[in-house]
């Protein structure tokens, strides 16, 4: 049995979603068409946190009951999953690097604001953008992201996401993954194989 653990980005990231549909709801409908064709051969999972995120974007009344039939909501077994100590070491080191990088971004903004007192609002906006990029890009920065990784590990499933942090940490933990940008093509290949 092939198992995929799905991230919200498949349905909400415009670059990914547009391969399935114009809106999150249309993308979900198209995905569910694939899930119906692959039923019994492929299983699709989401942890509860990801499911909740999806429901903020997808009109559930337009995709029910199919979403309940084809996507399994399952929390990871957080009490029994073991995480190698090196992952914690790497995470701590990564956080330390990011804090230092964030400090440098803030220092640069202060220097710019002293020189250019007329454009303080623009400097603050740039500070926020650069600070967010320094601290959040490429890291697992939410409980939902972590649940996704743990569930894939527990099920020996393949993560499907466009989130660089999720894919980076999946790779570090030896979890199979597919960049969501290729997911529709993967589904097309699977459907072709069962014909």
CA distance 54 to 9: 9
HEC string of the chain equals CEEEEECCHHHHCHHHHCCCCCCHHHHHHHHHHHHHHHCCCEEEEECHHHHHHHHCCCCHHHHCCHHHHHEEECCCCCCCCCCCHHHHHHHHHHHHHHHHHHHHHHHHHHHHHHHCHHHHHHHHHHHHHHHHHHHHCCCCCCHHHHHHHHHHHHHCCEEEECCHHHHHHHHHCCCCEEEHHHHHHHHHHHHHHHC
CA distance 80 to 69: 27
Bridging pattern class, strands 2-6 and 42-46: parallel
pLDDT at residue 115, as a whole number: 73
> What average pLDDT does this structure show over 47-66?
93
How distant is the alpha carbon of residue 89 from its chain centre?
22
Domain ranges, residue 103: 85-136
Last residue of a domain, one of 115, 136, 157: 136
45 and 125, same structural domain? Answer: no
**pLDDT tens-place string over residues 125-157:** 877 777 777 666 666 677 898 899 999 999 999
Average pLDDT along the chain: 88
17 and 44, same structural domain? Answer: yes
Model-wide pTM > 0.85? no
164 and 119, same structural domain? Answer: no
User: Largest Cα–Cα distance in the chain?
Assistant: 67
155 and 76, same structural domain? Answer: yes
HEC string of 12-34 equals HCHHHHCCCCCCHHHHHHHHHHH
pLDDT at residue 175, as a whole number: 94
pLDDT at residue 139, as a whole number: 67
> What average pLDDT does this structure show over 175-189?
96
> What average pLDDT does this structure show over 83-103?
80
160 and 115, same structural domain? Answer: no
What CATH number should be reported for the domain holding residue 50? 3.40.50.1010
């Amino acid at each position: 049995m092939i198992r995929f653990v799905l991230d919200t980005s498949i349905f909400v990231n415009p670059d990914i979603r547009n391969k399935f549909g114009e809106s999150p709801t249309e993308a979900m409908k198209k995905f569910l068409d694939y899930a119906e064709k692959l039923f019994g051969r492929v299983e699709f999972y989401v942890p509860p946190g990801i499911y909740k995120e999806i429901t903020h974007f997808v009109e559930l009344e337009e995709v029910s009951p199919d979403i309940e039939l084809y996507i399994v909501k399952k929390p990871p077994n957080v009490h029994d999953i073991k995480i190698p100590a090196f992952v914690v070491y790497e995470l701590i080191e990564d956080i330390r690097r990011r804090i230092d990088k964030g400090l440098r971004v803030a220092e640069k903004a202060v220097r710019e604001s002293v020189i250019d007192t007329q454009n303080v609002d623009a400097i603050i906006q740039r500070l926020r953008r650069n600070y967010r990029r320094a601290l959040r890009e490429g890291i697992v920065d939410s409980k939902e992201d972590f649940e996704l990784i743990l569930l894939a590990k527990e099920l020996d499933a393949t993560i499907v996401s466009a989130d660089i942090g999720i894919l980076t940490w999946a790779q570090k933990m030896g979890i199979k993954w597919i960049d969501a940008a290729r997911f529709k093509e993967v589904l097309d290949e699977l459907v072709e194989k069962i014909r």
